[in-house]
């Protein structure tokens, strides 16, 4: 399947267990997210939130059930098209050895320097634009970034990818409350027409979501608007 996704995601009875694990990390998940919908996924540590997200990006394949994007099974999507259709801010942002420019361009190979600079300003990483700017070396032997700077870099990458589906795994972890609110506002503005899955274990940002899902021990135990829950 080779056209960019519109952004409908559907889990149909999805169960997954990590190799060698004693129990399922997620079990019998059925969940439908419509194009443009903003959905939050809440639940305590280890309940399967990141696993659910990683099943969408095909880091793993379900052992039972199926995931569909725009009613096409994930397995039928061409990998490159899927990658272009989904932007992810993962819990751990990896830097690779290379310039700041290339660390950003991995998300958008054709992005101009101007657009890279603009996104860095938006996420509050102006500090990285001092000499030598986009040529700054990151990774081994390069500039070390603080946890918060890394996170912002991950957010900048996701914004540059500009995909119809945005998956956020605790995107503001480790940022102070004021910055957290700013970054969430920025992300939601960017994602106005996009499908958003927002994993969090806090209550910040929930009122901006259409739907909130509560997870526990690999299953979805409740689903509704944030006021209903």
Tell me if 50 contacts Mg ion by CB under 5 A: yes
Instruction: With CB under 5 A as the rule, give the number of residues binding Mg ion.
Output: 1
Q: Is 137 exposed, middle or buried (0-12, 13-18, 19+ CB in 10 A)?
A: middle
Dist. CA 35–CA 15, nearest whole Å: 23
Residue placing its CB nearer to ligand ATP in the complex, 47 or 163: 47
Dist. CA 195–CA 184, nearest whole Å: 15
Site for ligand ATP in 76-95 (CB under 6 A): 91
Residue 18, phi then psi, degrees to nearest 5: -70, 150
Tell me if 187 contacts ligand ATP by CB under 6 A: no
Tell me if 73 contacts ligand ATP by CB under 6 A: no
Name the minimum Å distance from CB 36 to Mg ion: 25
Read off the DSSP letter of residue 143.
B
Partners of 15 in the β-ladder: 64
Name the minimum Å distance from CB 194 to Mg ion: 21
Site for ligand ATP in 8-37 (CB under 6 A): 18, 21, 25
Tell me if 48 contacts ligand ATP by CB under 6 A: yes
Instruction: Report helix, strand or coil for 34.
Output: coil
Tokens for 205?
Answer: 């940002």
142 within 8 A of 97, measured Cβ to Cβ: yes
Nearest CA to 220 out of 212, 24, 208 is that of 212
Tokens for 108?
Answer: 């958008």
Tell me if 51 contacts ligand ATP by CB under 6 A: yes
Name the minimum Å distance from CB 47 to ligand ATP: 4
Name the minimum Å distance from CB 155 to ligand ATP: 18
Site for ligand ATP in 207-226 (CB under 6 A): none
Name the minimum Å distance from CB 53 to Mg ion: 8
Binding site for Mg ion (CB under 5 A): 50
Binding site for ligand ATP (CB under 6 A): 18, 21, 25, 43, 45-51, 91, 201
């Amino acid at each position: 399947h080779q056209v960019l996704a519109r952004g409908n995601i559907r889990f149909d009875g999805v169960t997954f267990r990590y190799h060698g694990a004693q129990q399922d990390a997620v079990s019998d998940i059925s969940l439908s997210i419509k194009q443009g919908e903003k959905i939050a996924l809440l639940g305590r540590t280890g309940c399967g939130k990141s696993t659910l997200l990683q099943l969408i990006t095909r880091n793993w394949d379900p052992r039972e059930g199926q995931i569909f994007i725009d009613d096409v099974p994930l397995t039928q999507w061409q990998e490159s098209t899927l990658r272009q259709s989904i932007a992810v801010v993962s819990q751990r942002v990896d830097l690779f050895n290379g310039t700041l420019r290339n660390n950003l361009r991995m998300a958008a190979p054709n992005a101009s320097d101007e657009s890279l600079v603009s996104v860095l300003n938006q996420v509050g990483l102006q500090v990285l634009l001092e000499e030598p700017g986009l040529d700054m070396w990151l990774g081994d032997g390069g500039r070390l970034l603080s946890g918060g700077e890394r996170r912002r870099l991950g957010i900048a990458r996701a914004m540059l990818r500009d995909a119809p589906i945005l998956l956020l795994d605790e995107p503001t972890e480790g940022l102070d409350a004021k910055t957290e609110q700013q970054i969430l506002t920025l992300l939601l503005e960017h994602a106005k027409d996009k499908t958003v899955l927002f994993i969090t274990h806090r209550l910040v940002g929930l009122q901006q979501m259409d739907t909130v899902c509560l997870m526990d021990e690999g299953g979805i135990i409740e689903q509704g608007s944030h006021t209903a829950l």
